[in-house]
A and B are shown apart, each in its own frame.
Chain A
Amino acid sequence: GAVVSQHPSRVICKSGTSVKIECRSLDFQATTMFWYRQFPKQSLMLMATSNEGSKATYEQGVEKDKFLINHASLTLSTLTVTSAHPEDSSFYICSARDEGDRGTVENTEAFFGQGTRLTVV
């Protein structure tokens, strides 16, 4: 079945540095990918929609200059947390749906990456 893979699964960085998280669709194309953030004991919060070949669209309250998204190919989206601070420590998850050969496959479920645990010290 379709698989979405994230890398790294766990990262620790110093305050003020930037961290890049990769999200790959391994056996399908995804012109659209989604990025989520999850704090302990809370649900997933949608941060942004990553669009291949165009700018990402951000949910209200999410700083686009803080969370840079690049979707350079049909199988790869990256999220860069810039100038990370301890409050950015969280579980980041990406997702995508299989679009099939004609660009839009109806009636598909979302596939989620295994998540990236970011700790900023």
Chain B
Amino acid sequence: DAKTTQPTSMDCAEGRAANLPCNHSTISGNEYVYWYRQIHSQGPQYIIHGLKNNETNEMASLIITEDRKSSTLILPHATLRDTAVYYCIVSGKTSYDKVIFGPGTSLSVIP
């Protein structure tokens, strides 16, 4: 079973920041928080990951609480192409660690 809980769906106005929350209260010390997204009928796409520090890349920012029990993915300026299902996943970091998907959050960016 997935170790994360996310809201089922969210809306965001185009050009505004999209903040997607995730709870992972049972995360273990060696597990990372990964975010992926899936646009309809495509394979999932990696967005960002982190262990305990906040992270930023060209796509998004990841804010992880100090106790690591929750995190927030931030898309700073949402566009219509960001409409997708966003998955928050906790996983080990090696090549043989499974990536288990929960239901994710369906984000709709509205013009």
Also in contact, A107 and B99, with CB within 8 A (given A43-B104, A112-B45): no
Which residues of B are found within 8 Å of A115, using beta-carbon distances? 41-43
Taking a contact as CB atoms under 8 Å apart, the answer to whether B87 and A109 are in contact is: no
A94-121 contacts to B (CB < 8 Å): 95-99, 104-115, 117
Taking a contact as CB atoms under 8 Å apart, the answer to whether B96 and A49 are in contact is: yes
CA distance A31 to B97 in the complex (A): 12
In the complex, B44 has a CB within 8 A of chain A: yes
Which residues of A are found within 8 Å of B46, using beta-carbon distances? 109-111
Mask for A38-52, Cβ within 8 A of B = 1, else 0?
000001111001000
CA distance A97 to B47 in the complex (A): 14
CA distance A13 to B100 in the complex (A): 29
Which residues of B are found within 8 Å of A98, using beta-carbon distances? 95
CA distance A31 to B36 in the complex (A): 22
Also in contact, A108 and B95, with CB within 8 A (given A43-B101, A43-B103): yes
B94 touches which of A36, A104, A111, A114 (Cβ 8 Å) = A104
The residues of A with any CB-CB pair to B shorter than 8 Å are: 4, 6, 30-32, 34, 36, 43-46, 49, 91, 93, 95-99, 104-115, 117
The residues of B with any CB-CB pair to A shorter than 8 Å are: 32, 34, 36, 38, 41-46, 49, 85, 87, 93-96, 98-104
10 intermolecular pairs with C-beta atoms under 8 Å apart: A31-B96, A32-B96, A43-B85, A43-B101, A46-B99, A49-B98, A107-B32, A110-B34, A111-B46, A112-B43
